[in-house]
Amino acid sequence: MPTKPSRELQTFPNPRPGRPFVIAMDCPEFTCVCPMTGQPDFATIRIRYVPAERCVELKSLKLYLWSFRDEGTFHEAVTNRICDDLVAAIAPRWIEVVGDFAVRGGIHTAVTVRHGERPADV
């Protein structure tokens, strides 16, 4: 059975909820579609978060990010949506999502979205 894109983010219990630590993930193959031209937009999505009670499962994150491949969306909107969906799924202590988009029309775009307060000790 082939794998298909999905908007469902699966989670699992944080194995050390009493210890603040940073989880860092990079997806250098993110693709969405420019809503103005219909052309593909390519980006690296960087996610850094300090989990509370839940962590995001990586295969579901991959399928979630893949689900944007054919969606027309602005860089700012998709980066905020990824952050909002992760916050809804895992309620982290702190999260940062960076959409680092490839140059289009001579302009490089990087969108940074944060939620919560990063603990001082991580």
Is 41 a catalytic site residue? yes
Catalytic residue chosen out of the listed positions 26, 27, 41, 85: 41
Give the list of residues 6+ apart from residue 114 with CB closer than 8 angstroms, or none: 83, 94, 95, 96, 97
Is 70 a catalytic site residue? no
Could you give the CA distance from residue 40 to residue 28 in angstroms, rounded to a whole number? 14
Closest by CA to 26, choosing from 41, 45, 51, is 45
Could you give the CA distance from residue 100 to residue 111 in angstroms, rounded to a whole number? 7
Catalytic residue chosen out of the listed positions 26, 27, 32, 34: 34
Catalytic residues: 34, 41
